[in-house]
Amino acid sequence: MGIKLATGITPIREVFKIDDGTQVTVRGWVYRRRDLGEKIFIVVRDSTGIIQTVFNHPMTLKAKKVGIESSVIISGIVRSDKRAPGGKEITADYIEVIGKSEAFPITKDASREFLLDIRHLSIRSRRLTTIFKIRDTIFKAVHDFFRKNGYYEVHCPMFITAAVEGGATLFEVKYVDGSTVYLTQSSQFYLEALIYSLEKVYTIAPSFRAEKSRTRRHLTEFWHAEAELAWSGLNDIMKVEEELITYIVNKTLEENYEELKFLGRNINALENVYPPFYRISYDEALNILEESGYKVPWGEDFGADEERVLTKQFDKPVFIYNFPEKAKAFYHKNNPNRPEVTLSADLLAPEGYGEIIGGGERIEKERDLIAKIKRFGLKPEDYQWYIDLRKYGSVPHAGFGLGMDRLVMWITGIDHIIDTIPFPRTIRRVYP
């Protein structure tokens, strides 16, 4: 039998579809190396997959010096072998080292802290690579969803002059003219300004919050998908949120089934995500918590612990609506039938994950907005342009903010937000 040539470079994933006896060339990085004297096994990875290559004498002489994470080009003949990962391997007859790698610092017993210190290298791990592939699908799905549904994508400033979500988590920046400005906590106010011309808008951008407490679900710089709709109310946006999350989860199941399996994700839990999601009021949530031994005073927001207890009891996402006025930011419209609560809703991911979306109806009347700003001890002059929007053709409107990193955390089923993003920024870490 003669040798067949697959010309050029073959992506590693494709090698598994190629007939035995074909000559192929792959390129990538050395993932693992095992020396058995007369044989050397080099496992190579590229962005599409990993494959085992086998070096027999005299090729072993060349393979011997190749360190972990060297970049290599390897040619050889495809062969089926049950013992090889994925059932195929390449019997190598050529290797070229493009970039050598001596003493790659990551070993099996590396600590979590050390891996974070050398994140520029540890992002090459199979686990992180798998998570980032799913993250990519999730971001694409958000854009797809909004475009399919007639939203305009817009871009808002990151330098701002007043708090959206309260002063405690603002980052100060010294601006070019010497004045103090802040990094944005949310693009919401700018999206609200844009609905008067574009009606349905969305953006995906970083939001910055100087979160003081260490938790598994807070970054100081996170990715925020926000949408705002003119002529709409709380029920309208809850429906949009439900459809959006369902769309994203389905896309991920379609595109990343293998990756989810690799991460050990419970697939059934994701397949169960379809409308309608559960809807419970804040007061009902308090009752459920009390039955579970958690006493939250009426008016307080829920923390991670409460949300974990709550969402363990649900097998799909759950909305909590009618939050008390003081538990939510000032821009939320109060419920006309029950003024002590707001027309707001958080969407909590099940299985203990907790809040992934905060949203609600906004105050559309100038008078009501000014009164509430004062009630919150804030200064109307700090929100002048935002108040101004209520003077020129104001309309009922609503919107929401989805924490993309938290969404990735839940969909991938991982236990810490740090691993949802390549270079996490947290209370303790801004390097590398």
Binding segment (CB under 6 A) for ligand ATP, from list 10-18, 21-29, 135-143, 216-224:
216-224
Q: How far is CA 413 from CA 19, 112, 269, 424, in A?
A: 36, 18, 10, 18
Task: Note whether 209 binds ligand ATP by CB under 6 A.
Answer: yes
Query: Smallest gap, in angstroms, from Cβ of residue 169 to ligand ATP?
Result: 8
76: which residues sit within 8 A by CB, 6+ positions away?
A: 23, 24, 53, 54, 90, 91, 92, 93, 94
Among 33, 88, 200, 218, binds ligand ATP (CB under 6 A): 218
Task: Note whether 355 binds ligand ATP by CB under 6 A.
Answer: yes
Among 28, 317, 350, 403, binds ligand ATP (CB under 6 A): 403
Task: Note whether 362 binds ligand ATP by CB under 6 A.
Answer: no
Binding segment (CB under 6 A) for ligand ATP, from list 23-31, 100-108, 132-140, 400-408:
400-408
Among 49, 317, 350, 358, binds ligand ATP (CB under 6 A): 358
Query: Smallest gap, in angstroms, from Cβ of residue 186 to ligand ATP?
Result: 6
Residue 33 near residue 95 (C-beta atoms within 8 A): no
Query: Smallest gap, in angstroms, from Cβ of residue 334 to ligand ATP?
Result: 17
Query: Smallest gap, in angstroms, from Cβ of residue 74 to ligand ATP?
Result: 41
Binding segment (CB under 6 A) for ligand ATP, from list 45-53, 146-154, 215-223, 281-289:
215-223
C-beta closer to ligand ATP: residue 224 or 333: 224
Residue 414 near residue 405 (C-beta atoms within 8 A): no
Query: Smallest gap, in angstroms, from Cβ of residue 150 to ligand ATP?
Result: 23
Among 43, 219, 240, 273, binds ligand ATP (CB under 6 A): 219
Task: Note whether 390 binds ligand ATP by CB under 6 A.
Answer: no
- Phi and psi at residue 118, in whole multiples of 5°? -115, 45
Determine the residue type at 159.
F
Binding segment (CB under 6 A) for ligand ATP, from list 8-16, 370-378, 383-391, 401-409:
401-409
What gap in Å lies between CA 409 and CA 420, rounded to an integer? Answer: 6
How far from each other are the two terminal CA atoms of the chain, in whole angstroms?
A: 53
The residue among 326, 386, 392, 338 whose CA lies nearest residue 362 is 386
> How long, in residues, is the chain?
432
Task: Note whether 224 binds ligand ATP by CB under 6 A.
Answer: yes
Among 211, 236, 364, 366, binds ligand ATP (CB under 6 A): 211
| Segment (H or E) for 387 | helix 384-388
Query: Smallest gap, in angstroms, from Cβ of residue 160 to ligand ATP?
Result: 15
Which residue's entry shows tokens 């389905």? Answer: 250
Half-sphere exposure of 267 (CA within 13 A, CB side): 12
C-beta closer to ligand ATP: residue 33 or 218: 218
Task: Note whether 228 binds ligand ATP by CB under 6 A.
Answer: no
Radius of gyration of the chain (CA): 26
Binding segment (CB under 6 A) for ligand ATP, from list 60-68, 111-119, 310-318, 399-407:
399-407
Sequence-distant contacts of 333-340: CB under 8 A, at least 24 apart: 333/360, 333/361, 333/362, 333/363, 333/364, 333/368, 334/363, 334/368, 334/372
Residue 81 near residue 105 (C-beta atoms within 8 A): no
Task: Note whether 372 binds ligand ATP by CB under 6 A.
Answer: no
Task: Note whether 222 binds ligand ATP by CB under 6 A.
Answer: yes
What gap in Å lies between CA 75 and CA 94, rounded to an integer? Answer: 5
Instruction: Spell out where 286-387 has E strands.
Output: 318-321, 334-335, 338-342, 344-349, 354-361
C-beta closer to ligand ATP: residue 49 or 359: 359
For strand 22-35 and strand 71-80, is the pairing parallel, antiparallel, or unpaired? antiparallel
Binding segment (CB under 6 A) for ligand ATP, from list 51-59, 235-243, 283-291, 403-411:
403-411
Task: Note whether 165 binds ligand ATP by CB under 6 A.
Answer: yes
What is the sign of the dihedral through the CA atoms of 225, 241, 142 and 273? Answer: positive
C-beta closer to ligand ATP: residue 168 or 267: 168
Cross-strand partners of 22: 4
Residue 11: asked if its preceding bond is cis (omega within 30°), the reply is no
Among 44, 401, 412, 424, binds ligand ATP (CB under 6 A): 401
C-beta closer to ligand ATP: residue 76 or 359: 359
Among 42, 356, 369, 398, binds ligand ATP (CB under 6 A): 356
Query: Smallest gap, in angstroms, from Cβ of residue 166 to ligand ATP?
Result: 9
Positions that interact with ligand ATP (CB under 6 A):
165, 209, 211, 218-219, 222, 224, 355-358, 401, 403, 405-406
